[in-house]
Amino acid sequence: MRLSVVASLTLLAAAAAVAAPLSKQTALKIMHERHEGMEAIGKANKVLRREISAEAPNVAEIRTSANAIAGLAAKSSHWFPQGTGPDVAKTGAKPEIWQKPADFSAKLRDFQAASKALQLAAARGDLATIKSDYAKLGGTCKACHDPYRTDMHH
């Protein structure tokens, strides 16, 4: 019985540590990382769009950009903890991200899966699949941006 109480208290302490609010400094650091990551995804996306629509696409450029997006997508799961919303500082992230966490997480996982698929297609150099997977990636971006992102003008 004593072990159960100790184990229960340990689990409660761990849960409290996870749920502890972020310091403002930590929140701002995460928000900056999120902003820079999203900017980098946008820049890589512009290269992809240019190359995919080019008469003679540069597969090396496509591969580099697809790798960048997939790498950043993998990190994006850590960019939206509770306490990094518009109540902390200026951000394009809407409060709905934290009000509907299951839906937001599902959309984020879709984006991550689509970025990985595009990365694999780019590694193979299959332009038809690259174009198809790029369109799917764009759909995942739109699915998340529409409900969870405001237009920010810097």
Contact 150, 94 (CB under 8 A): yes
| Residue 43, pLDDT score | 98
pTM of the model: 0.84
Q: Going residue by residue through the chain (154 aa), what tens digit of pLDDT does each one get? A: 444 444 444 444 444 445 578 999 999 999 999 999 999 999 999 999 999 999 999 999 999 999 999 999 999 999 999 999 999 999 999 999 999 999 999 999 999 999 999 999 999 999 999 999 999 999 999 999 999 999 865 5
| Residue 98, pLDDT score | 96
Going by C-alpha positions, the residue among 110, 107, 109, 133 that lies closest to residue 120 is 133
> Per-domain residue ranges for the chain?
23-148
| Residue 153, pLDDT score | 58
DSSP 74-92: HHGGGS--TT-STTTS--S
Which numeric CATH code is attached to 23-148?
1.20.120.10
| Residue 19, pLDDT score | 57
